[in-house]
Amino acid sequence: MTRRSLRPTWGRVLVMLRIDKVDVSYGSVRVLHGISFHMDKGECLALLGSNGAGKSTILKTISGLLNPDGGSIVFMEERIDHLPTFEVAKAGIAHVPEGRRVFPQLSVEENLDMGSYLPEAKKQRKRTKEWVYSIFPVLEERRRQMAGTLSGGEQQMMAIGRGLMLKPRLLMLDEPSLGLAPIITDGVYEKLGEIRKQGVSILLVEQDVLRALGICDRGYVLKNGRIHLEGAREQLLADSEIKSAYLGM
């Protein structure tokens, strides 16, 4: 399968994350094949593709939950492949997993505190929490409430807030719209736009192409564990294959 590039060739700003020829397997089954892509500092980058394409596997590999069989991952000029998850977090990468994974029996505040488990983040916990509450006032209102009693949209906001408690340079989000009604997703995406404006780089995994390209400038489309297509927002949205396969047009 050939990879089509819609990316213009103008000069590059500082590269924050570079994935080069990464292969990943579950047991003996290879699911990612020679994945290469990069992300610039301050960028919001979308990783798009249907269910089973390999999007979550990429995020898990970046965050150290999975080890690649080959290739390299460089973040802020440092190799991070084969680092344990806490070292990747320490380097400044927060991963908000698919399905939110909240601790239902803990309060909202306790859930947020779990996000600042590293010594450096712990020292700044109070101030960071104020920042998170300024983005998500509803979480402050509900800070003593058990997380399990929050609505789906509020739980997603809490999961994002927990990621922000690390004060990350890069926030990776796995399908934040999953299982949410469109109007609730609108609210979550509005917050992501705000977080982005505050200078946090975002790597956004989504099946919903329109949503993701609503806030991201550029994207890659994965298909069967390979990067199939890449381009700027306008180019992807105008692409006939994207239109028919992902936008139902």
Q: Is 51 in the site for ligand ADP (CB under 6 A)?
A: yes
Q: Least distance (Å) from Mg ion to the CB of residue 97?
A: 9
Q: Which residue among 45, 46, 53, 164 contacts ligand ADP (CB under 6 A)?
A: 53
Q: Does 56 bind Mg ion (CB under 5 A)?
A: yes
Output the smallest distance, CB 55 to ligand ADP, in A.
3
- Strand segments, DSSP code E, in the chain are 4-5, 15-26, 29-40, 44-48, 70-75, 78-79, 93-96, 170-174, 201-206, 218-223, 226-232
CA distance 183 to 40: 30
> What DSSP state is assigned to residue 225?
T
Stretch that binds Mg ion, among 50-58, 101-109, 181-189, 216-224 (CB under 5 A): 50-58
**Six-digit token pair at 173?**
């989000």
d(CA 190, CA 62): 26
Contacted entry of ligand ADP, Mg ion, none for residue 213, CB cut-off 5 to 8 Å set by kind: none
Among residue numbers 189 through 208, which ones bind ligand ADP (CB under 6 A)? none
Figure out which of the listed residues 46, 49, 169, 200 binds ligand ADP, where binding follows CB under 6 A: 49
63 and 85 in contact (C-beta within 8 Å)?
A: yes
Closest distance between ligand ADP and the C-beta of residue 99, in Å? 11
